[in-house]
Amino acid sequence: MFKTGGPEVMEYVDVEVGDPGPGEVRIRHVACGLNFIDVYFRSGLYPQPLPAGLGQEAAGVIDAVGPDVRHVQVGDRVSYATRPNGAYSELRVMPAAFLVKLPDSISFETAAAMTLQGLTVQYLFRRTFPLRGGETILFHAAAGGVGLIASQWAKALGVTMIGTVSSDEKAALATAAGCAHVINYKTENFVERVREITGGKGVPVVYDSIGKDTFIGSLDSLAPLGTMVSFGNASGAVPPFSLNELASRGSLTITRPSLPSYISTRADLDAAAADLFHMVDSKQIKIDINQRYALKDVAQAHADLEARKTTGSTILIP
């Protein structure tokens, strides 16, 4: 990518990969993940020095190891969900520090589809606002990549999830995944529906990845002392707001979390990955890979993601 803009700014080019330096590995990718954060970097909402690669998630085999790398070796099956961008590639050199070793039970495609989105649901539900079971929560975009994993994880925890979606087809998917109440926010007022479902009380937590379009409605859906977890901006960045918005609705708490902070130590990453693998291996979560594109068709994949045509997870095959 030499400039920011629409999907057409991505170019499929040959670059010299080279050998890994100290603390680095070279990985041959088998499958790469598509995530909404890639759109933010491509469009320029999240800045980065150019020219640059894109993509933060992939799975593959270690093909060379640089000096001072001890926890992985050539031939290991690994995945990752981390910066720097550059996962949209056949082969890359990257830091070894935050690679996840894949158990035999997890295929490359599943790993590429779930490492970033699954680790996200893991920290949202276990750490940002820890769910114990019995809560009723609001989670937007319930049929998306993160959303279908969240629907299943909530059900497994005994949590009643209210999910929002933009079509009846997406509502059916979220329901089948375990989302207890699904609201079509194109045709229904989600704030009113949340009040109805909760008997007027509101929810203790909203997980909001939509941003601009849902921000105020999400605050309005909270019970007093509730927590707003604003973790994305699919509709655009949340505009500046007054802290009085939190006081006037009953001493709300707000946080704007991001995955890298939750997996920044080896211990945190290993614990989170083990939790995610357990949920998948025990069949409490099934990863829905509903779209596959050739990596060279990534512009079409971005266009479809932004046009809200995708559901569940999407992978790119190099």
Beta strand residue intervals within 140-235, DSSP E? 160-165, 181-184, 203-208, 222-230
Residue 231 engages ligand NDP in binding (rule: CB under 6 A): yes
Which residue from 94, 111, 115, 103 is spatially nearest to 24, judged by alpha carbons? 94
**Least distance between ligand NDP and beta carbon 253 (Å):** 17
Would you say 37 and 46 are in contact if contact means Cβ atoms under 8 Å apart? yes
The piece of 106-114, 207-215, 247-255, 263-271 that touches ligand NDP (CB under 6 A) is 207-215
Which residue from 76, 87, 70, 56 is spatially nearest to 24, judged by alpha carbons? 70
Residue 36 engages ligand NDP in binding (rule: CB under 6 A): yes
Q: How far apart are CA 222 and CA 217, in angstroms?
A: 9
Q: Site for ligand NDP (CB under 6 A): which residue of 20, 53, 55, 145?
A: 145
Q: Site for ligand NDP (CB under 6 A): which residue of 32, 62, 113, 143?
A: 143
Give the interface size with ligand NDP as a residue count (CB under 6 A).
29
Q: Which of helix, strand or coil describes residue 24?
A: strand
- Closer CB to ligand NDP, 110 or 209, in the complex: 209
Q: Site for ligand NDP (CB under 6 A): which residue of 56, 136, 209, 291?
A: 209
Q: How far apart are CA 79 and CA 72, in angstroms?
A: 12
Query: Which of the residues 62 through 121 are near ligand NDP (CB under 6 A)?
Result: 116-117, 120
Distances in Å between the Cα of 234 and the Cα atoms of 6, 88, 283 are: 15, 21, 29
**Least distance between ligand NDP and beta carbon 308 (Å):** 4
- Closer CB to ligand NDP, 1 or 143, in the complex: 143
Q: How far apart are CA 96 and CA 90, in angstroms?
A: 17
Chain residues in the site for ligand NDP (CB under 6 A): 35-37, 116-117, 120, 141, 143-147, 165-166, 170, 209-210, 213, 231-232, 234-235, 257-259, 305-306, 308, 310
